[in-house]
Amino acid sequence: MLVVMQAQATDEQVRAVCQRIESLGYRAHPIPGAQRTAIGITGNQTEVEPGTLEEMAGVQEVIRVSKPFKLVSRDIKAENTVIGFPGCDATVGGRSLAVMAGPCAIESREQAFAIAERVHRAGAQFFRGGAYKPRTSPYSFQGLGEEALRIMAEIRERFGLRIVTEAVDNESLELVERYADVIQIGARNMQNFSLLKRAGRARKPVLLKRGMSATLEEFLMAAEYVMSEGNYNVVLCERGVRTFADHTRNTLDLSLVPAVQRLSHLPIVVDPSHGTGKRNKVTPLSRAAVAVGADGLMVEVHNDPDRALSDGMQSLYPQQFDELMDQVRQIARIVERYLPPARAQPAAAH
Footprint of ligand PEP (CB under 6 A): 104, 130, 134, 186-188, 209, 239, 274
Task: Give the nearest residue (CB) to ligand PEP.
Answer: 186
Distances (CA, A) of 58 to 10, 39, 70, 187: 7, 12, 22, 42
User: Which of 104, 106, 282, 285 touches Mn ion by CB under 5 A?
Assistant: 104
Q: How far is the CB of 55 from ligand PEP (least distance, A)?
A: 48
Strand order in the sheet with 37-42: 27-32, 37-42, 2-5, 59-63
SS3 label, residue 172: helix
Identify residues 283-342 at the interface with Mn ion (CB under 5 A). 311
Q: How far is the CB of 239 from ligand PEP (least distance, A)?
A: 4
Q: Are 182 and 207 in contact (CB under 8 A)?
A: yes
Q: How far is the CB of 186 from ligand PEP (least distance, A)?
A: 3
Q: How far is the CB of 127 from Mn ion (least distance, A)?
A: 14
Q: How far is the CB of 310 from ligand PEP (least distance, A)?
A: 8
Indicate the residue among 129 and 296 with the shorter CB distance to Mn ion. Answer: 129
Q: How many binding residues for Mn ion (CB under 5 A)?
A: 2
Indicate the residue among 97 and 104 with the shorter CB distance to Mn ion. Answer: 104
Cβ–Cβ contacts within 10 Å for residue 140, how many? 12
SS3 label, residue 167: coil
CB neighbour list of residue 301: distance below 8 Å, 6 or more residues apart: 101, 102, 103, 115, 118, 119, 315, 316, 317, 318, 321
Q: Tell me which of Mn ion, ligand PEP, none is bound by residue 224, counting a contact when its beta carbon lies within the kind-specific cut-off of 5 to 8 angstroms.
A: none
SS3 label, residue 222: helix
Kindly give the pairing relationship between strand 182-185 and strand 206-209.
Answer: parallel
Q: Tell me which of Mn ion, ligand PEP, none is bound by residue 118, counting a contact when its beta carbon lies within the kind-specific cut-off of 5 to 8 angstroms.
A: none
Of 100, 115, 127, nearest to 308 by C-alpha is 115
Indicate the residue among 201 and 242 with the shorter CB distance to Mn ion. Answer: 242
Indicate the residue among 279 and 337 with the shorter CB distance to Mn ion. Answer: 279
* Binding-site ranges for Mn ion (CB under 5 A): 104, 311
